[in-house]
């Protein structure tokens, strides 16, 4: 089966995760069938389209590792560079009577929208069709609607039929030099030889409009598949208020690109098994469009964090250390640095968690002696004083060389005594003495991260406070 798909972002903002999921599905479908995928920037709305947004999109796709096939010796197309091509098609429509120049009064422009445009073409875009920034146009080009029923077989949703009569004569250009979205899309899809259009379900209402234009121009109709939208937990459309952010923000938060792609692939698609971790190459192998669901997919950042944690487990330790904020390691010995790295590796799900913890004071015990109420040193399930146990722990550690202050060795030295006297009775006051907290890494990890000198000083301070 010949497959050529496309990803056509509008550079009017940074690349959003919903758009990435669309790009990913197109990529997986094309690569699974040994086909091609092309990139184009749909910037007919030149007032809102900006080169910095275009660069953000390119940077995001590059970071994710999604590659595109060049077309006509270009890595991608810009619609703003193809106006002369659109003009030729538009003139053909006008010359054959399938479109016409419409003289419109201010009242007509204000009140007679060619269609309700409930999805892709919002009210704001409809206003721009009539003239930028509120300026009313006295003349536009409208498509002469044949007022017929249009049907197509959606590869995900099955048979869909529209009565286009209610659309009226839709505006397709402001002038011969200013095509609008629907016309440019139809022409580009044809000239790119697009065989399959995979896009969000919010584009369903655009499809009959574009089919009408394809038929009027004598262009081939691609196959259509409309994928479910990504929804917020309350099943409303995902927006920034729900935490939806640009791809580069996820990158800067410390998410791994492999985890982000893996998670987005599972939003609205199921491999047919319980497996959840896939590399990009594995996703290409197993991707099946028939397994894309019809209902909206709920975005769950906790699930994304879980998947990211699974990928972090596979990261080389040297690569992990490179992401640790230097202030957590400054002035530490090699053994301490290694111990801190091990603790963070166990606790964080995203690289950014380390900076978040640092900013919140979670790791304050690594750089300054803690303060706490001495009652916190007493194990809650015991009525006995922790003094004797802290003295015993300090005595055991005093005899241990500083070079042996590793978590495994510290546990070998202290754990037999803790098992004999009660683990809570021994390990709880040791933990509090070293961190000043009821919740922190285990006391062996704490001692390894702090080193011998600081560990003994904090144990002595705890004993002094008890006395």
pLDDT digits (tens, 9 = 90+) for 138-169: 889 999 999 999 999 999 999 999 999 999 99
The pair phi, psi for residue 76, each rounded to 5°, is -160, 165
The pair phi, psi for residue 149, each rounded to 5°, is -85, 135
Spatial distance between the Cα atoms of 437 and 422, rounded to a whole number of angstroms: 20
Q: Where are the domains of the chain?
A: 240-318, 324-466
The alpha carbon of 378 is separated from its chain's Cα centroid by a whole number of angstroms, namely 46
Question: 185-194, 237-246, 371-380, 419-428: lowest mean pLDDT where?
Answer: 237-246
Whether the per-residue pLDDT at 453 is higher than 50: the answer is yes
Whether the per-residue pLDDT at 124 is higher than 60: the answer is no
So what's the pLDDT on residue 109?
Answer: 40
> Where residue 131 falls among pLDDT bands split at 50, 70, 90?
very low
> Where residue 284 falls among pLDDT bands split at 50, 70, 90?
very high
pLDDT digits (tens, 9 = 90+) for 10-41: 999 999 999 999 999 999 999 999 999 999 99
Average pLDDT, the chain: 91
> Where residue 132 falls among pLDDT bands split at 50, 70, 90?
very low
Whether the per-residue pLDDT at 96 is higher than 90: the answer is yes
Tokens 């487990």 sit on residue: 313
Give binding residues as ranges.
240
CA dihedral sign of residues 57, 60, 66, 72: positive
Spatial distance between the Cα atoms of 365 and 343, rounded to a whole number of angstroms: 13
Whether 3 and 33 have beta carbons less than 8 Å apart is answered as yes
Query: Which residue stretches of 295-439 are H helix?
Result: 301-312, 317-322, 334-347, 352-360, 387-398, 407-421, 423-435
Catalytic residue set: 240
Give binding residues for ATP as ranges.
240
> Where residue 381 falls among pLDDT bands split at 50, 70, 90?
confident
Please determine, looking at this structure, whether the domain spanning 240-318 carries the CATH number 2.40.37.10: no
Q: Which residue has the higher pLDDT, 96 or 134?
A: 96
pLDDT digits (tens, 9 = 90+) for 212-261: 999 999 999 999 999 999 988 888 887 666 566 789 999 999 999 999 99
What is the CATH number assigned to the segment(s) 324-466?
1.10.10.350
So what's the pLDDT on residue 244?
Answer: 61
């Amino acid at each position: 089966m010949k497959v050529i798909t496309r990803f056509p972002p509008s550079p009017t903002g940074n690349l959003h995760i919903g758009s990435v999921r669309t790009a990913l599905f197109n990529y997986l479908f094309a690569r699974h069938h040994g086909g091609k995928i092309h990139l184009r920037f749909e910037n007919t709305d030149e007032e809102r389209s900006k080169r910095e947004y275009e660069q953000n999109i390119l940077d995001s796709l590059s970071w994710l590792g999604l590659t595109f096939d060049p077309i006509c010796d270009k890595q991608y197309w810009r619609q703003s560079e193809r106006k002369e091509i659109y003009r030729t098609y538009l003139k053909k429509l006008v010359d054959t009577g399938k479109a016409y120049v419409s003289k419109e009064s201010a009242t007509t422009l204000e009140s007679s929208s060619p269609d309700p445009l409930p999805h892709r073409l919002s009210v704001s875009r409809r206003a721009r069709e009539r003239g930028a920034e509120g300026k009313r146009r006295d003349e536009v080009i409208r498509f002469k609607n044949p007022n017929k029923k249009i049907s197509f077989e959606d590869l995900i949703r099955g048979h869909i039929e529209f009565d286009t009569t209610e659309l009226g004569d839709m505006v397709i250009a402001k002038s011969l030099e200013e095509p609008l979205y629907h016309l440019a899309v139809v022409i580009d899809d044809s000239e790119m030889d697009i065989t399959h259009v995979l896009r969000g379900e919010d584009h369903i209402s655009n499809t009959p409009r574009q089919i009408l234009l394809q038929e009027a121009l004598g262009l081939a109709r691609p196959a259509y598949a409309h994928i479910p939208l990504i929804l917020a937990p309350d099943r409303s459309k995902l927006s920034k208020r729900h935490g939806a952010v640009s791809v580069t923000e996820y990158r800067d938060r410390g998410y791994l690109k492999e985890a982000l792609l893996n998670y987005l692939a599972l939003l609205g698609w199921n491999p047919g098994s319980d497996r959840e971790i896939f590399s990009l190459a594995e996703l290409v192998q197993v991707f099946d469009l028939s397994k894309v669901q019809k209902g909206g997919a709920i975005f769950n950042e906790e699930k994304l964090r879980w998947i990211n944690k699974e990928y972090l487990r596979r990261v080389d330790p040297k690569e992990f250390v490179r992401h640790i904020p230097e202030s957590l390691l400054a002035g530490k010995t090699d053994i301490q640095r290694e111990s801190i790295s091990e603790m963070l590796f166990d606790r964080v799900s995203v690289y950014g968690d380390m900076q978040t913890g640092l900013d919140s004071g979670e790791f304050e015990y690594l750089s300054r002696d803690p303060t706490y109420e001495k009652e916190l040193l007493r194990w809650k399930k015991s009525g006995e004083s922790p003094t004797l146990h802290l003295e015993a722990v300090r005595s055991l550690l005093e005899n241990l060389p500083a070079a042996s202050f590793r978590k495994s060795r510290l546990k070998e030295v202290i754990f037999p005594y803790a098992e004999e006297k009660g683990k809570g009775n021994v390990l709880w006051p040791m933990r509090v003495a070293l961190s000043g907290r009821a919740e922190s890494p285990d006391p062996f990890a704490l001692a390894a991260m702090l080193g011998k000198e600081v560990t003994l000083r904090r144990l002595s301070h705890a004993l002094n406070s008890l006395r």
